[in-house]
């Protein structure tokens, strides 16, 4: 990375992403695995998909925090990845401990998670655009997550079906493509 870094936060964030590429790849593989399972088991019960989602969100959150702590520097750039990790751990824990309640509110729950995750991914990609070449897959992933979250809210049946088949693998695919 030879680009001039305009802000210490951006510099630190770019260094953290480069230093823990394997965590991003692992998170991407977990996300793609969840998407594939949701796609190939369309006849399974909603409860099974909820439990698979809970495991995915929990593992993704743990890996995000591990990546943040392993790449930690003096800067406060770590907060984005820690926020993603906390969101994932909370989402996974609630899903796995209260699956019946989650099934009832799953459409709003998954839509909100996709939008928040998308906002974080897009914000991070915009912040890193000058320092990380080919960061566009992360931006596209964030925008797709936001779009699917909005679709879930506007047309729950259509949005949730597309979220399970397309929205969840998208962040994973971009995490693997964007590995420096």
pLDDT tens for 104-139 read 677 777 788 889 989 998 888 888 877 777 888 888
- Which of 30-34, 46-50, 53-57, 133-137 has the largest mean confidence? 53-57
What is the biggest distance separating any 2 CA atoms in the chain, rounded to whole angstroms? 52
Domain hosting residue 150, numbered range: 8-177
159-173 per-position pLDDT tens digit? 555 444 544 444 444
Q: How many domains does the chain have?
A: 1
Decide if 3 is inside a domain: no
Do the Cβ atoms of 9 and 3 come closer than 8 Å?
A: no
Task: State how far the Cα of 124 lies from the Cα of 98, in Å rounded to an integer.
Answer: 31
Concatenate the DSSP letters of all residues of 118-134 into one string. Answer: HHHHHHHHHHHTTTSTT
pTM: 0.49
**Domain annotation covers residue 1:** no
pLDDT at 15: 64
Domain membership flag for residue 2: no
């Amino acid at each position: 990375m030879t680009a001039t870094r305009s802000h210490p936060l951006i510099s630190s964030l770019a260094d953290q992403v480069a230093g823990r590429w394997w965590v991003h790849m692992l998170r991407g593989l977990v996300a793609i695995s969840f998407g594939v399972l949701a796609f190939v088991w369309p006849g399974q019960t909603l409860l099974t998909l909820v439990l698979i989602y809970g495991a995915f969100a929990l593992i993704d959150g743990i890996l995000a925090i591990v990546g943040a702590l392993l790449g930690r520097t003096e800067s406060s750039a770590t907060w984005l990845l820690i926020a993603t990790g906390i969101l994932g751990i909370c989402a996974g824990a609630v899903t796995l401990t209260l699956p019946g309640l989650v099934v009832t509110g799953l459409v709003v729950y998954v839509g909100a998670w996709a939008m928040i995750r998308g906002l974080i991914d897009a914000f991070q990609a915009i912040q890193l655009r000058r320092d990380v070449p080919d960061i566009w897959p992360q931006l596209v992933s964030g925008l797709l997550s936001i779009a699917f979250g909005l679709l879930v809210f506007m047309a729950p049946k259509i949005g949730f079906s597309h979220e399970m088949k397309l929205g969840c693998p998208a962040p994973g695919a971009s995490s693997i493509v964007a590995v420096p």
